[in-house]
Amino acid sequence: MEMYSTACKEALTAQQKAMELQRWKAEEQRRIEEARIAEEAALALAEKEKAKSRAALEHAEAAQRLAELESQKRINAEMKALKEAEERNKVLNKYSNSDFRYRRYSIEEIETATEYFAQSNKIGEGGYGPVYKCYMDHTHVAVKVLRPDATHGRQQFQQEVEVLSCIRHPNMVLLLGACPEYGCLIYEFMSNGSLEDRLFQIGNTPPLSWQHRFRIAAEIGAGLLFLHQSKPEPIVHRDLKPANILLDRNLVSKISDVGLARLVPPSVADTVTQYRMTSTAGTFCYIDPEYQQTGMLGIKSDVYSLGIIFLQILTAKPPMGLTHHVERAIEKGTFNDMLDPAVPDWPRDEALSLAKLSLRCSELRRKDRPDLSKVVMPELERLRTLGEETPCQTGFYSSGHSTIQSQASVSQASQHE
């Protein structure tokens, strides 16, 4: 019994140990499974982190490449800017050493265009030098050439370049370019010659209608006023005359030959203060008598010349003694006989009004002459408007006169002189 009891206890103990072993085994399997799951999770996390690291590395490499590219672009831009600055400085230095206010032509270009100054291309000759018609830059031009022995020619050349290269006005002749080394000036070609040629019908051209004459008078006044109001200093023409008033193909008048023009102090614009010149210049019969006697130059010196020109526009007569003849005719009531007979339909009252204004402009004393902007121009504008509102019945028309223009080109001896 005692042995049996011992065997039962041992069997119970063995059974308990077997159950404990079973529980331990189950617990070990559970821990193994947990370890496996944890290992798999760790491997997945490690793979994910590895992917993140690879992506971060690729992003860093891309950023580095972009930074290198931007750096290269910046270097290229800096080099380009430096090169452009150097080129700009070269251009500015070139400009600072040259006069680019007008187109510079070489003597070879001018010789080629004029066929080496062929006599057949010559359209004029004056104190300055010969004038040639030619074709340059796809347009007809007039080339004025300085004669080597011309008195004060170089000074007049420089003066004309200085004035015309700085001003632009519809009633001022256009300077297209120059060749300073050989004293050549290139102008737009004025196909209808000078006002003097048209008034005296050189080449048997038809007479200018009174409508055209009134408009031309207003245009001359406008161009002259532009010179007098130029900044910073007024410009006095000093040699205004019909030979220096040029007409283009549409009979638009333009003032030329400013070689004798002078820049005078702004105080000259005053009616009393004048500017003393050491020597007078101009053309007899058109030059201001007070300026001729005293050498005192002012903007009203041009107003005297303007008055003589207006009287010639009305009468088509030479300037010698013209003011006296017109004044006597007005006093005697025979002014109508003084008007150009080539124009049969003169508006008598308006022509008489312009004549009286012209006589005021040509007073011997400068202080007696009217103000160009306040007195003369309003009357000229009134006459121009009248001409524009009245149909042109007779006279010189602005179109359809190719023969007139060809004849006028022959008579351009006075053009640009």
What residues act catalytically?
A: 239
Q: Determine contact, residues 262/152, Cβ cutoff 8 Å.
A: no
Contact between 339 and 351 (Cβ < 8 Å): yes
242 to each of 20, 315, 379, how far by Cα in Å? Answer: 141, 13, 20
Q: What string of DSSP letters covers 339-408? A: S-TT-TT--HHHHHHHHHHHHHHT-SSGGGSPPIIIIIHHHHHHHHHHHHHS---SSB-SSS-HHHHHHH
Structure tokens at 135: 């074709």
> Residue 321 is encoded by which pair of tokens?
């003694």
- Distance, CA of 53 to chain centre: 68
Calculate the dihedral angle through the C-alpha atoms of 68, 69, 70, 72, rounding to the nearest 10 degrees: 90
Q: How many angstroms separate the CA atoms of 277 and 245, rounded?
A: 25
| CA 69 remoteness from chain centre | 45
Interhelix angle 210-228/377-389, rounded to 10 degrees, is 150
- Strands 130-136 and 122-125, by their bridges, are antiparallel
CA-CA distance, 407 to 204, in Å (whole number)? 8
Residue 78, C-beta contacts closer than 8 angstroms, at least 6 positions apart: none
Q: How far apart are CA 23 and CA 28, in angstroms?
A: 9
**Residue 351 has which token pair?**
């022509």
